[in-house]
Structures are given as C-alpha cells and as structure tokens.
Amino acid sequence: MKQTKRLYAALALIAGLLPVAAWAQWMEQSIPLVAGWNAIHLKVNPAETACSTVFSDTKITQVSWWNRDRLDDGTGSAVSDFCTWYRNSAEPSTFGRVIGGKRYLVKTTAATTLKVKGTPAIPNGKIYLGEMNLVGVEVPTYTSDSTTYFEYFTPFASSLASTPYFFISTANESVRLSDSVKVTNPSKAIWLSTAGEGEATYMGPFELALEGGSAVMAWTTTTAARSLTIKNVTSAARKLTIKRETSLTPPTGQGTLAGAVELTIESIDWSAGYAKRVYKPLTFPFTTNIAAGATFDFRVRPNLAKMPVKTTPGAAYQSILAISDAGSKIGSETRTEGTCLYRVGVRSDGALAASQINPAGLWVGTVALAQVNRAKTLGSAQPEWDAEALMTAPHPFQFRLIVHVADDGTTTVLKEVFTAMKSASAPAADLLTDKATAIAFRGLYPNGTIRRTASANFPFMKPLTLRGGEFMSAGSELSATFTQAYDDKTNPFVHAFHPQHDNLAFNNKKPSKKASGDEGVGEYESWGVTRTVTLKFLADDPSDAAGDNWNRTVTGGEYTERVQGLIGLGKPIITRGIFRLSKVNDTAELTTQVIH
C-alpha cells in the first residue's frame, strides 16, 4: 500500500477545477403570465440561475424579488426588501440571480408563459407578522376538488388580520379575495395581511424538513438512511400520501438519467422481543395517517438490488417525491387530491452499488466486549489459569475501532486519524495519520478544516497492518500483534509520577537484571505487554439493522484480543465480543507526510 502521499499547493487548484456531480432531480414549472404585473411563486431551483436566462422571454421587461428575508443572491448585488432586475433600463439592477422557492413580481408587455426547468425547492414559509407578505401556496392544479385560500391558511388563522385577508395581483392592481375564492393556479403568489408582531413559519398543512438542511435526499458513496420529517400543523388528523414522479431528462452538463430511484423504508420489528430496525421495499403510493400536531419520520435508503450499476460518469437514478394530504377528510368532505402538494428530489448515484462492494476507504465503528477468561478457582494463592475458556462479563465494555483499507486491500488499525479538507469546495478529504502531519497540513492549507477521530483503546502508534485474510470477506480473519514496551507511557504498569516504575535500580539508576520485562516474569518494576487483535468477519449481520448494506457500507463480526504480560508467562487475558464498522470515507490512501 502506498501510504506516503505528497501534497502540493497546486493540487488544491486542480481539485477546484474538477466538475461537481449533479445533485438534482428535474421538473419544469409552467407559469402563465398576463400583460402587466404578475405575482408568482417559483417552486423550482433553476438549472441556470442568471436572471437573463430564467427571464429570457423578451415580453418580460422587469422582475422584482420580494426579499424580506434579505438574502444575498450570490452576485454581490444590493440587498433590500425588494430587489429589481431590468431587461433594458438606465437604472441598474439590484439582483442578478434567481433563488428557488421565493416569490417574484413579473412585469410583461403581453400575455406569455414562463417555463423554468430545475429541481424541486423545499418550501420556505417565513411570515412577518403585522406586515403584508408575498407568499406562495403549495397546492396542485386541482381537477376533482379544490381548496380556498382561506381554507389553506386556516391553521394560522390567529395570525391573520381580521380584515382584509388576502390580495392577489391581477394585471396592474391588487384585488381583495373573498373567503370562497378557489386556488386554481399553484404558481401564483398572494399578498397576505397579518396581525401581531414577530415572525411565524408557514408551509401549509404539512411542514417539511430534510435532515441537515439538505435540499435533496441524495446517496453518493453510502446507502445510510436519510430522513424527511413531515409535521401535521393542523388541528385534525390528516392522511399523508407520497407518490413518485418521473424526473425529466437532466439539462446539458448535468449528467444522465439512469432511471427511477427505488427505495426501502425503515420500520421497527418487535417480533424478537426487542426493537430491531428493518428495511422493506417501498411501494407507491405510500400512505399513512398523521395525528394533529404529530410528526412522521419518513426514513428511507436506496434499494440497490433493483437499480443496476451504471458506471457512465454522471449517471444517476433520479425521481421526485410528491407529498400531499390526498385522501384526508377535511370537514365533512374526503378530498381526492387534498389541499397541499410538496415536491422533494431523490437521487442515487448510478455507480453506488459498485462502490458498495469496494471496501477501500476509512471505516469507523465500535467493539462491544462481552466475554473474558479468568482463573478457575479463587481460593488458591496461585490459581490455575484457564487460558481458553471464556465467561460472560457482567457488563459489556465498548470502545471505538478505526480501520483503513487501501486500494490493494491492505488493512490497518489506527489509533487516530485526521480527516482534512483543503477547502470547503474540495472534492475529497485527506486522511492524516498523526498530529505532526496535521500541523504541517494546517500550515499548507490555513483555510482548510481538520477533524480528529481517535480510539482510547490503543496506544499512540503508527498504523498497524492486519494480515491473514481479506477485509469484509465472510469467515475471513485478520490479525495483528503489537507490544507496549515496559517503558511505554501507555503501558499500564508505568506511572508518570512513580519513579520506581522505570526498571532502573533505585540506588544507581542502572537497568535491573534485564533492560525489559517483555516475558512478564522476573524481578522487574514493569513488564512489556503484548496484544494480539483478531477480526473475524461474519456473513450475516448479528443485529439485522444494516439490511442490504451489510458487507457493503456496514460490516463486522467477532473481535478477539489476547493480552500477554499483565499476569505472567503463559497466562493471557482473552476478551471477545462483536465489532461493527461503517464506511465513512472513500479515500484509499493514508497521508503520513506533508511536503510544502
């Protein structure tokens, strides 16, 4: 294994020029515009964000962005409550890029249709109380039933001004809406008059959030479960309905569409008498009921068995999840299409299944020791030691295990590892093996980030090579032996504040009979301790929690450690338990030296 990796400043520049994989699922929003002013709600993140591209229709002469959140569009333009873009005007534009999920006022010279291709935007429903707010409504284009604006906002009726309720821009004027006006165009935005002070959050009957603030449910190198939390903010139970929609063909330069994303959904199995996470294939439409004020955790991961490997660069399985309250009983009426519709993108890298069987990279997990050997009898001053029989420990002992696998299969155990990123936009991380290398990396990349992961169970040591078998191969055993010398500061016999534990004679400070006590016998103040670690991989997951991920991104088996020297020659301490590792990084090289 090539463990020495030279890092040059030029590499950071090269890495910054590499293309970034598309993280998108594609749809097109079609927005009818009338002559004059139009209030619109953009439900997609545009593939091309420049105003001149999104609003390329020459009938569009002016666009105002209601920017009450005072966001920066990334162009360095002026930030205010309203920012304006002009097609042809002596007056300078105050924004230049379009942000999905926001509301805009669009001025046209004649009726036209604005078509915007992009990815679903997660709803953003901040409302400033006591003000007029330009808001969007997350509804479908109804065919069999419809909802009123007032009904849609009912869960937040206490925040609405007594009068007026809503205004909608039509041509060059705003007209107050009556309570019975139906929502027929989901792309329209409305002016909402509110009372009170402060801020409120509003997304309609359901409130959605992806873990970590992500914009999409995506899997690139691992199949770890992702969560979409859906909260029912109404005062009555609602049926949750999730359908899968087909992604459009990605725009040029955004990779290729390999097919629809197949998913498995997490549930809890109590059949064995304890809670066990299991994953079952997800079929659409998916429905469940959510009580008033309750939250449902839609936790899923890709079903790789149904998605053949696509090794073409940029190929990805992509779909759109359409989330609604279709089938809910609202008042005395069961709504076929409900009152709301939200869309969330899902994506799984086409080569993910292939990468799942490639173990190269960093694995981090835990060992749970549950067995240990002991003396056969306790009454004798010199009890006979049972070297092999193991007994169940009254309390399991856990510690962290860090393992790295190189491209050639070389497997090492690490005391610590520093995951280092040259910059926030770097395409991959470097794995540094010690503190000195991390300090050198910091000097070379002052704007980079470094995160340390360590295990207290191992002494400060260089990467320890495991030999004898193949990583992640069922039934295979890998083992390594290392010694904590009699004078090692991590040796359990050595005490930093006890000078007699130095194996030196107290009267002349010369070494005692031998310079070390590695055999664990004799008149020595401390002994060397030899430890042999063995990992035996299992074909099946002992807990059944990993499902299809077992021996892909999650692996494990039986951990055994044999400790010689703590008691004496021929009296090893043997512990055994279960180890479990998850793949956290695909970097196949360890960096042991940084050269400026």
The per-residue pLDDT for 46 is 94
Considering the domain architecture, whether residues 418 and 481 belong to the same structural domain is answered as yes
Sheet holding 590-591, edge to edge: 449-454, 416-421, 430-432, 590-591
Cα separation, 355 vs 416, in Å, equals 25
| 11 occurs within a structural domain | no
Considering the domain architecture, whether residues 344 and 450 belong to the same structural domain is answered as no
Considering the domain architecture, whether residues 266 and 374 belong to the same structural domain is answered as no
Considering the domain architecture, whether residues 374 and 455 belong to the same structural domain is answered as yes
| 190 occurs within a structural domain | yes
Cα separation, 449 vs 423, in Å, equals 7
Considering the domain architecture, whether residues 318 and 435 belong to the same structural domain is answered as no
| 6 occurs within a structural domain | no
| 69 occurs within a structural domain | yes
The per-residue pLDDT for 514 is 52
User: 3-state SS string over 500-554?
Assistant: CCCCECCCCCCECCCCCCCCCCCCCCCCCEEEEEEEEECCCCCCCCCHHHECCCE
Length of the chain: 596
Cis status of the peptide bond prior to 164, with omega within 30 of 0: yes
Domain count, the chain: 3
| 514 occurs within a structural domain | no
The per-residue pLDDT for 184 is 83
Choose one of 355, 381, 410: the last residue of a domain.
355
Choose one of 355, 378, 396: the last residue of a domain.
355
Bridge partners (DSSP) of residue 239 are 289
| 509 occurs within a structural domain | no
DSSP strand pairing (529-537 vs 554-564): antiparallel
Q: 101 — alpha (psi -120 to 50), left (phi > 0) or beta?
A: left
The per-residue pLDDT for 414 is 94
Considering the domain architecture, whether residues 129 and 231 belong to the same structural domain is answered as no
Contact assessment for residue 419 and residue 454, using Cβ atoms and an 8 Å cutoff = no
Contact assessment for residue 339 and residue 151, using Cβ atoms and an 8 Å cutoff = yes
Considering the domain architecture, whether residues 537 and 580 belong to the same structural domain is answered as yes
Cα separation, 135 vs 355, in Å, equals 43
The per-residue pLDDT for 76 is 84
Helix ranges, 323-474 (H): 352-356, 435-444
Considering the domain architecture, whether residues 39 and 157 belong to the same structural domain is answered as yes
| 1 occurs within a structural domain | no
CATH classification at residue 578: 2.40.160
CATH classification at residue 279: 2.60.40.10
Cα separation, 560 vs 477, in Å, equals 10
Choose one of 355, 386, 419: the last residue of a domain.
355
Alpha-carbon dihedral angle through residues 422, 425, 426, 427, given to the nearest 10 degrees: 160
Bridge partners (DSSP) of residue 532 are 481, 562
Considering the domain architecture, whether residues 91 and 144 belong to the same structural domain is answered as yes
DSSP strand pairing (315-324 vs 256-259): parallel
Q: Which of 417, 418, 416, 420 is nearest to 445 (CA)?
A: 420
| 100 occurs within a structural domain | yes
Query: pTM of the full predicted structure?
Result: 0.63
The per-residue pLDDT for 207 is 92
For the chain, the straight-line distance linking the first and the last C-alpha, in angstroms and rounded, comes to 23
Q: Tell me which DSSP letter residue 225 carries.
A: -
Considering the domain architecture, whether residues 537 and 411 belong to the same structural domain is answered as yes
Considering the domain architecture, whether residues 192 and 246 belong to the same structural domain is answered as no
Low-confidence residues in the chain, pLDDT < 70: 1-23, 155-165, 169-173, 271-276, 355-356, 375-387, 496, 498-525, 543-548, 568-570, 594-596
Considering the domain architecture, whether residues 277 and 373 belong to the same structural domain is answered as no
Domain that holds residue 230: 206-355
Q: DSSP per residue over 271-284, as a string?
A: TTSS-EEEEEE--S
